[in-house]
């Protein structure tokens, strides 16, 4: 998505086109000249930032330059013909390239504004967040320097590791106004705020985030989260391996795909929680967990017997839980049957 800033002028929205010589009218005479215009509602998506005190002509001139509309003249006429145009609000509007002037004004007047400048999706890793910041326009040097010294922005219980502490949410920040360090600091502050809201003791924050991150990467459907939380607690209490593939994938620097026998057998990878790997939790969170996953850890399902889960339909995310190995084996067989019927999926 492209972020475009429309230059601000000191005239308020709603300025009549007849006051501007270049708007397609001659010195206020209401006889319009022909103005170039596109047809239809446009093509490629584009975000246009309308600042405070912009007016119809300033917006039109910029949209013409950026090929959102064919001409400022056509836009100004459409602006003045639309009674809702005076209510266009400043902010980031979602637009399209090569729109007709009428459709451009109508879409702006809907005020479908993206007020957040940067969004961290649930389940993103630190590396993904860093790459996303660079992709959205933060200077690479600034971002890399911030993440290199990120321990200084974290609470002591994070142990100097940022994984799991950059809370997934939307933030009203932009590359040209907010330094990278301030963005990261805001993410960490939001994580702490959510943990406090959910009454997570400070000395348990890291453990809760680790468990929540495992659930975040494994759960496809919301009702499954507290059941997974119960299964994790039951397996830890029984001193059993967790066997969570998402953890090993993280340790291998991946977020999806299958695992080889050699990878599953590599006990030197601290994120390998398989029976040939390591018992207990991984050393750090493996992703940025959502509030829902943290809530699941704090309030797991009341099920002292659930021990296994298996996603049996990779398209819908349907997951089945089991108390015994025999039941789990049946669920695995169901997954394999689904994969045989749907070639091309690798989980």
DSSP 137-155: T--HHHHHHHHHTGGGGS-
How do strand 45-50 and strand 3-5 relate by DSSP bridges?
parallel
* Measured distance CA(244)–CA(162) in Å, rounded: 21
Q: What is the pLDDT of residue 57?
A: 84
In contact, 118 and 169? CB cutoff 8 Å: no
Residue 48: the pLDDT is 84
**265-303 burial code (b ≥16 CB/10 A, e <16):** ebeebebbbbeebbeebbbbbbbbbbbebbbbbbebbeb
**Over 90: is that where the pLDDT of 123 sits?**
yes
pLDDT band for position 18 (50/70/90)? very low
Helices of type H across the chain:
56-65, 72-81, 101-109, 126-135, 140-148, 180-197, 205-218, 224-237, 245-251, 261-265, 291-298, 325-341
Of 172-181, 259-268, 296-305, which has the strongest mean pLDDT? 296-305
**CA distance to 215, 226, 230, 329, per residue, from 233 (Å):** 12, 11, 5, 21
Residue 297, pLDDT score: 98
Whole-angstrom distance, CA of residue 101 vs CA of residue 344: 44
Burial 41-74 (b: 16+ CB within 10 A, else e): ebeeebbbbbeeebbbbbbbbbbbeeebbbbbbb
Mean of per-residue pLDDT scores for the chain: 87
The reported pLDDT for the residue numbered 64 is 85
Least confident of 9-18, 81-90, 123-132, 296-305: 9-18
DSSP 158: G
| C-alpha distance from residue 262 to each of 73, 202, 218, 266, 282 (Å) | 66, 38, 22, 6, 19
Alpha-carbon distances of 300 from 234, 246, 293, rounded to whole Å = 10, 20, 10
- Sorting pLDDT into bands at 50, 70 and 90, what band is 315? confident
Q: DSSP code of 2?
A: -
Mean pLDDT of all residues in 54-64:
85
pTM score of the predicted model? 0.69
pLDDT of residue 20: 34
pLDDT confidence band for 50 (50 / 70 / 90): confident
Percentage, residues of the chain above pLDDT 70: 88
Question: What pairs with residue 96 in β-bridges?
Answer: 45
Q: DSSP secondary-structure letter at 88?
A: P
Q: Bridge-partner residues for 311, per DSSP?
A: 319
First-to-last C-alpha distance (Å) of the chain: 28
Identify the pLDDT of residue 293: 97
The pLDDT of residue 170 is 86
Residue 68 · residue 46 · CB < 8 Å:
yes
Q: Enumerate the domain spans of the chain.
A: 3-109, 221-281+300-341
Q: In the predicted model, is pLDDT for residue 10 greater than 60?
A: no
How confident is the model over 190-238, as pLDDT tens digits? 999 999 999 999 999 999 999 999 999 999 999 999 999 999 999 999 9
* CB neighbour list of residue 272: distance below 8 Å, 6 or more residues apart: 247, 248, 251, 263, 264, 266, 278
- In terms of average pLDDT, the best of 11-15, 42-46, 85-89, 191-195 is 191-195
Which residue did the predictor score with more confidence, 137 or 27?
Answer: 137
Rg (CA), the chain: 26
Whether the pLDDT of residue 34 is over 90: the answer is no
Q: Indicate the pLDDT class of residue 7, thresholds 50, 70 and 90.
A: very low
Lowest mean pLDDT among 84-93, 199-208, 236-245, 330-339: 84-93
CA geometry: angle 176, 180, 181, nearest 5 deg: 135
What's residue 29's pLDDT? 36
Looking at residue 23, its pLDDT comes to 38
**Average pLDDT value for residue range 64-75:** 89
Number of other CB atoms surrounding residue 245 within 10 Å: 20
Q: Which two tokens stand for residue 63?
A: 């949209």
Distances (CA, A) of 132 to 86, 105, 247: 35, 31, 22
Q: What is the pLDDT of residue 346?
A: 54
Helix (H, G, I), strand (E, B) or coil at 248: helix
């Amino acid at each position: 998505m492209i972020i475009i800033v429309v230059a601000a002028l000191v005239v308020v929205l709603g300025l009549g086109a007849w006051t501007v010589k270049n708007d397609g009218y001659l010195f206020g005479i209401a006889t319009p000249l022909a103005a170039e215009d596109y047809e239809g509602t446009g093509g490629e998506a584009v975000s246009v930032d309308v600042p405070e005190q912009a007016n119809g002509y300033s917006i039109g001139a910029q949209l013409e330059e950026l090929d959102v509309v064919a001409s400022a003249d056509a836009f100004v006429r459409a602006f003045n013909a639309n009674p809702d145009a005076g209510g266009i609000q400043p902010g980031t509007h979602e637009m399209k390239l090569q729109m007709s002037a009428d459709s451009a004004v109508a879409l702006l007047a809907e005020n479908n504004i993206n007020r957040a400048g940067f969004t961290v999706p649930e389940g993103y890793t630190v590396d993904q967040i860093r790459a996303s910041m660079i992709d959205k326009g933060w200077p690479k040097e600034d971002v890399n320097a911030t993440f290199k010294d990120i321990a200084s922005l974290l609470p002591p219980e994070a142990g100097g590791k940022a994984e799991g502490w950059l809370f997934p949410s939307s933030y009203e920040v932009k590359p040209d106004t907010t330094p990278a360090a301030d963005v990261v600091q805001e993410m960490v502050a939001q994580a702490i705020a959510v943990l406090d809201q959910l009454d997570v003791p400070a000395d348990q924050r890291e453990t809760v985030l680790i468990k929540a991150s495992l659930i975040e990467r494994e759960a496809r459907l919301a009702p499954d989260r507290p059941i997974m939380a119960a299964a994790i607690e039951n397996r830890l209490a029984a001193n059993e391996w967790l066997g969570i593939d998402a953890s090993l994938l993280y340790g291998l620097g991946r977020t999806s795909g299958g695992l080889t026998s050699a990878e599953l057998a590599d006990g030197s990878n601290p994120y390998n929680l398989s029976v040939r790997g390591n018992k207990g939790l991984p050393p750090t969170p493996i992703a940025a967990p959502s509030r829902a996953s943290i809530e699941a850890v704090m309030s797991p399902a009341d099920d002292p017997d659930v021990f296994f889960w298996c996603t049996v339909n990779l398209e819908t995310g349907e997951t089945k839980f089991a108390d015994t190995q025999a039941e789990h084996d049946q669920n695995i067989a169901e997954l394999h049957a689904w994969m045989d019927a749907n070639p091309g999926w690798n989980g």
